[in-house]
Structure 1
């Protein structure tokens, strides 16, 4: 998929006069830098290597399930909903017999990478087995053919793989959905806690703050918030190591970068290597000759599914679970320092939306909401 060079091992790039050299200190086993608008792959390293994806697989889960439930829908969690959550999983803190909105659950998925939230949404969707089958069908529709899901949350499982190329395709599809864009760009939010009795004997349910674990979005003691970053998803497991797919905008250019399993041990290394590749991509974009492309979904090309594969047909639609009318969440300030009037990120038709009418549109903008304000 995407061109013969992307199937070759090692680094693929076409340097020319005026194009900066790739950063030397990128140790990831696999990575890709792509223009989200045109779909051009600017450079890649082992782009189609099939590796454990960790929680970046939640992007496929979200792109598959998000359109099915409005954000205002409510669900009371049964004990069976949380069955099968892997030991040591990242959790947002969902409690049995408590009621949550779908909006709450998606915040738990995107901000805290909560496997408990993923399993509750899977239960709402008919169960884990059905959800995983739909995820694999949707991956086929997106032509993410290196991807095979076994668990909906990315928890290590035998045979569960994806690639830097596929995760970039999946992120590009998800970013077409307004609610997906809002959730993945949210920095902090309030999450419902457990119902208890206070000192007065009154039944109360307080909330607690959750923060996005994407360190390019929030910053950390050893890494700054990346200017223009607007999501999408990070992951880390024993088998996968650290994985990350990010989208960022600078001077009207929107790039997608995926980094899988840096070999260098170090705190926040996956984010540091992603930031270096973003920096290179913004300098090289428009100057470097592409080495491949991000392909559109099968339904946009008229291609038939592979034998035995389904097609979810959800590559384009916008989910119904948007954050409109919900409790405000905190976000980073504006790139221009205007403290609230910042520039909304435009993810353009190179994001190629497959709309209800079936048209695959090129050069159509998909702006992130004001939650994506950034400071220099």
Structure 2
């Protein structure tokens, strides 16, 4: 009888202990308008998954639709996940699976901006190396040449207007000392911003092992970028000039911003487009109307019947139509206020980020580890108590038998 009680108690403890890394959802998953059913293998699922950030709002812990009570129905879009937020207050107006994992494609470059732009002098002239040109053939590039010398502000324009993967490699190297260290710095910056469900494997957003993000995390990253006047200037630029390289017999040429939101949406502030075969279309965009600035992020969209930027524009229209008080959550700001001093955030104006800071930041971001340790501790304590109780019970039974024999 005693052992039956022990087994029952242990079963209750295991059931009551939350599984490490499993996000608890307290809201019903309401299907998102227009969402396309995807096979389970089509979306990344890190193991163990990191819990959504505390304080973002329980209503955002859903794989489905989250909108305020009384809100108009959002437009039907093909994106797997999306989010609309107030760029200034951080209030989230609505979303579809905002914490669900997706692949970023070139919107990953916004994380590179957050990690590296504060550290580099835009007037500095740098030379492109052979290693900088190591990126997928046929993918987007601004046309840098080996041995070419360019100002860093030219590289930012090439990155953000033309989605240059060559420019991404150069900037990651400059920000970290090597391209790999630059990617490590991107992951450290994601943790600092609270984008715990984001992991970069490449500086450009080209698909890499374990590379993931979420619509919510993208909003955190983009919001940090938009606090910078230089970033706002770059993404609002419609055209730029890549200077000639006389030593290498290359003429100068112009580039145009590939974000159509700038040309076709009233009040557009800029953003970033992205596409790979695995990620499909991704988009980040911002716009201002009547003194209100809104941000939209989306992942995993099909190009038909609307392109990614058009789906973003439709969601921005929906957001501007909602009252200013409408909210289902918030973008949790990082401990260090956005726009804080580089020294306070551990980002010096030159040199690679300390590896120790990266490790500490990563450990702080992986909330699944303490939960797993806690669960193991509870079960171990129950086992110790059960064994001690069994020893005492058996000793008592043996004592009783010996007393009966002595009588």
TM-score in same-fold range (> 0.5): yes
- Which deviates the most, 256-265 or 230-239? 256-265
Structure (1 or 2) with the larger CA radius of gyration: 2
Change in 2 beyond 3 A, CA 1:312/1:160: farther
More strand by share: 1
Give yes or no for the alignment of 1:293 onto 2:344.
no
Report SS of the residue matched to 1:245: strand
Cα pair 1:29 1:263 within 8 Å, conserved: no
Give yes or no for the alignment of 1:253 onto 2:292.
yes
CA distance in 2, matches of 1:285, 1:111: 33
Give yes or no for the alignment of 1:313 onto 2:345.
yes
Change in 2 beyond 3 A, CA 1:105/1:300: closer
2:398 corresponds in structure 1 to none
Report SS of the residue matched to 2:293: strand
Cα pair 1:233 1:246 within 8 Å, conserved: yes
For residues 101-160 of structure 1, the C-alpha deviation after alignment (integer angstroms, 9 at most, x for no partner) is 101111110100000011112222311111111111110000001100011110011210
1:362 corresponds in structure 2 to none
**Would you say how many aligned residue pairs link Structure 1 and Structure 2?**
291
CA distance in 1, matches of 2:194, 2:172: 23
Aligned-residue offset at 1:88? 2.5
CA distance in 2, matches of 1:214, 1:314: 33
Give yes or no for the alignment of 1:270 onto 2:308.
yes
CA RMSD of aligned residues (A): 2.3
Q: What pairs up with 1:174-185 in 2 under 5 angstroms? A: 174-185=225-236
Q: Structure 2 length as normaliser, TM-score?
A: 0.68
Aligned-residue offset at 1:21? 2.4
CA distance in 1, matches of 2:344, 2:62: 30
For residues 338-361 of structure 1, the C-alpha deviation after alignment (integer angstroms, 9 at most, x for no partner) is xxxxxxxxxxxxxxxxxxxxxxxx
Aligned-residue offset at 1:280? 0.8
2:170 corresponds in structure 1 to 120
CA distance in 2, matches of 1:291, 1:205: 53
Where in structure 1 do 4 or more consecutive aligned residues deviate above 4 Å?
none
Aligned-residue offset at 1:194? 3.8
2:141 corresponds in structure 1 to 91
Q: 1:215 aligns with which of 251, 260, 272?
A: 260
Q: What pairs up with 1:186-205 in 2 under 5 angstroms? A: 186-195=237-246
1:34 corresponds in structure 2 to 85
Report SS of the residue matched to 2:294: strand
Task: Give the number of the structure with larger relative contact order, counting CA–CA contacts within 8 Å between residues 6 or more apart.
Answer: 1
For residues 210-248 of structure 1, the C-alpha deviation after alignment (integer angstroms, 9 at most, x for no partner) is 001111113xxxxxx101111111101111100011110
1:304 corresponds in structure 2 to none
Give yes or no for the alignment of 1:104 onto 2:149.
no
Q: Structure 1 length as normaliser, TM-score?
A: 0.73
CA distance in 1, matches of 2:344, 2:167: 22
1:280 corresponds in structure 2 to 318
Report SS of the residue matched to 1:137: helix
1:167 corresponds in structure 2 to 218
CA distance in 2, matches of 1:140, 1:90: 28
Cα pair 2:114 2:225 within 8 Å, conserved: yes
Aligned-residue offset at 1:265? 2.7
Cα pair 2:156 2:167 within 8 Å, conserved: yes
Give yes or no for the alignment of 1:240 onto 2:279.
yes
Structure 2 alignment gaps of length 5 or more: 1-52, 351-407
Cα pair 1:35 1:42 within 8 Å, conserved: yes
For residues 67-109 of structure 1, the C-alpha deviation after alignment (integer angstroms, 9 at most, x for no partner) is 11111100122212323x1232200000011110101111110
Change in 2 beyond 3 A, CA 1:231/1:312: farther
Report SS of the residue matched to 2:191: helix
Cα pair 1:243 1:270 within 8 Å, conserved: yes
Cα pair 2:174 2:182 within 8 Å, conserved: no
Change in 2 beyond 3 A, CA 1:287/1:300: closer
Give yes or no for the alignment of 1:150 onto 2:201.
yes
Cα pair 2:86 2:294 within 8 Å, conserved: yes
CA distance in 2, matches of 1:177, 1:276: 26
Cα pair 2:127 2:147 within 8 Å, conserved: yes
Structure 1 alignment gaps of length 5 or more: 198-203, 219-224, 302-310, 321-376
Report SS of the residue matched to 2:180: helix
More helix by share: 2
CA distance in 2, matches of 1:259, 1:188: 25
